[in-house]
């Protein structure tokens, strides 16, 4: 009461500068999504306190931190990365990059995974993110505190195990949580009847590192997604005999020598033979599952009141596939599939910040729930199976633009969509060579592609 209005304003300013009154956001994971979240939070120091990024390993980059080993790490935790030794990106660097941070110009369009890791490290250094990351810190539990009456009445308790070796448990309170824990690390094993009868080597692509151990072997590779196709190409180079088994329409592009297609594996017979859907049998030495990953949020098990469900590869309830309608200060970033990940994280993160700073008001909880249900139903009506609902594919561009429009940040330049979609078409036509193409962006609208002469390939 005794403060004059001028000194009150000065006090408020001093408190804000000291970080009091600013929103505290916890970020779980220092992969591409978590780094992107931290970069944008730090750019808004007027509203947000510096973020706290929890990262269970001692490095940034998440899945881009290649590990030779498989199974568990030195702390008994499952190895996170699913990278394989010779992986080159399947998206050209010209559109894979965060829009505000290009890859080095001297690199080819399809870079080796080590270059992506280097790129993410540079991003981290450039935006001075490292000092905000608590490494070797596992998030064990995230719990809302307060009633679900919109995010302003809510806080979040985040319990972590600090320094994995000492197992010290600490709880910190935040205004919001951005979950960026990735979704390519917990292998999905399809429920194939009789799978336990298989007598050869059964493995998942999460544990595939290089082709040599499979040289000359007969392999049934189940799944023709990006990893399945990539690994089939690698295996053909070491003379493996590969049956590429999948439930999609037969691929029409040229396949590598030694790779043939078959329908999905329907069951495994008691004698260990794999039976395909057309009745044909195979007795391969290796059965390699390239069947994708589960969405896993063990730390949210501490909060059953959230009612978060992961069923058939769909995570609900999430408005815009991103925020919890009843607890709208909990964000799960980057769960959409068949997208251009880094630019997608860039758009989602800026939308999240606009929701939190109040510049992008949310509809009521009921309206968000209605919209979310309508979106899922409309996808189902279009014949999209539940397990594919999170695959945005070509719809990602409208999704990103909508977030930009709602939150008032610049949309991705127009060439992004056209170059990305062109690469997708080239990949479908020319699986064996598309990574030898090189792109150049001429301005914010035009790009060119150069394909090497056959003798250069």
* Residue (22 or 246) nearer to ligand FAD, CB: 246
82 or 350: CB nearest ligand FAD:
82
Closest CB 87 distance from ligand FAD, rounded Å: 6
CB nearer to ligand FAD: give 340 or 360. 340
SS3 376: helix
19-23: Cβ within 8 A, 24+ apart: 19/49, 19/50, 22/47, 22/48, 22/49, 23/47, 23/48, 23/49, 23/175, 23/176, 23/356, 23/357
Binding residues vs ligand FAD (CB under 6 A):
28-34, 54-57, 62-64, 80, 82-83, 87, 89-91, 96, 138-139, 180-182, 184-185, 227, 299, 334, 341-342
CB of 160 to ligand FAD, least distance (A): 7
Query: How far is the C-alpha of 315 from the C-alpha of 376, rounded, in Å?
Result: 11
Give the shortest CB-113-to-ligand FAD separation in angstroms.
Answer: 8
Q: What is the per-residue DSSP string for 281-319?
A: EE--SEEEE---B----GGGGG-GGG--EEETTEEES-B
CB of 296 to ligand FAD, least distance (A): 8
Element (H, E) at 221: strand 218-222
227 or 400, CB closer to ligand FAD? 227
Q: Closest approach of Cβ 345 to ligand FAD, in Å?
A: 7
Tokens of 338: 């068949």
Q: Cβ closer to ligand FAD: 182 or 258?
A: 182
CB of 82 to ligand FAD, least distance (A): 4
Distance, CA of 241 to CA of 244 (rounded, Å) = 10
CB nearer to ligand FAD: pick between 179 and 220: 179
Q: Which is nearer to ligand FAD, 139 or 255 (CB)?
A: 139
List the beta bridge partners of residue 211.
none
Which of 16, 136 has the CB closer to ligand FAD? 136
Full DSSP string of 132-175: GEE-SEEEEEEEEES-SSSGGG-EEEEEEEESTTT-EEEEEEES
**Would you say 48 or 345 has its CB closer to ligand FAD?**
345
**Region class of 215: left (phi > 0), else alpha (psi between -120 and 50), else beta:** beta
Q: Give min distance, CB of 114 to ligand FAD, in A.
A: 13
Q: How far apart are CA 193 and CA 81, in angstroms?
A: 28
Question: Which DSSP symbol is given to 59?
Answer: S
Nearer to ligand FAD by C-beta: 69 or 199? 69
Taking the complex as a whole, the smallest distance from the CB of residue 91 to ligand FAD amounts, in Å, to 4
Q: Residue 383 Cβ, how far from ligand FAD at the closest point, in Å?
A: 26
Measured CA to CA in angstroms, residue 109 lies from 41, 343, 437 at distances of 30, 16, 7
Encoded tokens for 434: 């598309």
Question: 10 is written with which tokens?
Answer: 């000065």
Least spacing, CB of residue 48 vs ligand FAD, in Å: 19
Q: How close are the terminal C-alpha atoms of the chain, in Å?
A: 78
Q: Which is nearer to ligand FAD, 89 or 365 (CB)?
A: 89
DSSP per position, 27-53: EE--SHHHHHHHHHHHTTTTTBPPPEE
Sheet holding 201-204, edge to edge: 201-204, 286-289, 218-222, 241-245, 259-262
Task: Please report how close the Cβ of residue 23 comes to ligand FAD at its closest, in angstroms.
Answer: 21
Nearer to ligand FAD, 31 or 51 (CB): 31
> What is the C-alpha to C-alpha distance for residues 294 and 281, in angstroms, rounded to an integer?
29
- Strand, helix or coil for residue 420: helix
Let me know: does 274 contact 188? Beta carbons within 8 Å: no
Residues 314 and 389: beta-carbon distance below 8 Å: yes
Least Å distance, CB 270 to ligand FAD, is 34
């Amino acid at each position: 009461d005794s403060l004059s209005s001028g000194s009150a304003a000065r006090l408020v300013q001093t408190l804000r500068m000291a970080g009091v009154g600013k929103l505290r956001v916890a970020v779980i994971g220092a992969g591409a999504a978590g780094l992107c979240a931290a970069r944008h939070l730090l750019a808004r120091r007027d509203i947000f306190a510096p973020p706290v990024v929890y990262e269970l390993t001692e490095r940034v980059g998440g899945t881009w931190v290649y590990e030779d080993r498989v199974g568990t790490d030195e702390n008994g935790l499952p190895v996170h990365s699913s990278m394989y030794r010779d992986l080159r990106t399947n998206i050209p660097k010209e559109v894979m990059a965060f829009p505000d941070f290009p890859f080095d110009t001297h690199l080819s369009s399809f870079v080796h995974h080590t270059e992506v890791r280097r790129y993410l490290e540079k991003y981290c250094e450039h935006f001075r993110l490292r000092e905000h990351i608590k490494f070797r810190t596992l998030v064990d539990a995230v719990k809302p505190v307060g009633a679900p009456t919109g995010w302003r009445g809510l806080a979040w308790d985040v319990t972590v195990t600090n320094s994995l070796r000492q197992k010290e448990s600490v709880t910190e309170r935040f205004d919001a949580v951005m979950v960026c824990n990735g979704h390519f690390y917990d292998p999905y094993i399809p429920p194939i009847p009789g799978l336990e009868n298989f007598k050869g080597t059964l493995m998942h692509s999460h544990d595939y590192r290089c082709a040599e151990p499979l040289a000359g072997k007969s392999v049934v590779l189940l799944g023709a997604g990006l990893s399945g196709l990539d690994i089939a190409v690698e295996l053909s180079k070491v003379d493996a005999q590969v049956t590429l088994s999948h439930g999609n329409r037969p691929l029409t592009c040229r396949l590598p020598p030694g790779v043939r297609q078959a329908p999905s594996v329907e069951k495994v017979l008691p004698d260990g033979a794999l039976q395909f859907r057309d009745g044909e049998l195979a007795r391969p030495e290796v059965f390699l599952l390239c069947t994708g990953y589960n969405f896993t949020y063990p730390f949210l098990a501490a909060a059953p009141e959230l009612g978060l469900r992961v069923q058939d590869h769909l995570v609900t309830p999430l408005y815009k596939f991103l925020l919890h309608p009843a607890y709208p200060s909990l964000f799960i970033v980057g769960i959409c599939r068949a997208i251009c990940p880094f630019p997608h994280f860039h758009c989602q993160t800026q939308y999240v910040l606009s929701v939190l700073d109040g510049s992008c008001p949310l509809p009521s909880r009921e309206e968000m729930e209605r919209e979310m249900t309508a979106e899922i139903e409309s996808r189902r009506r279009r014949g999209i199976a539940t397990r594919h609902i999170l695959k945005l594919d070509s719809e990602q561009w409208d999704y990103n633009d909508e977030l930009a429009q709602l939150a008032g940040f610049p949309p991705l330049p127009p060439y992004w969509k056209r170059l990305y979609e062109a690469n997708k078409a080239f990949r479908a036509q020319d699986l064996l060579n598309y990574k030898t193409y090189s792109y150049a962006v001429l301005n914010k609208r035009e790009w060119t592609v150069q394909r090497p002469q056959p003798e250069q390939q």
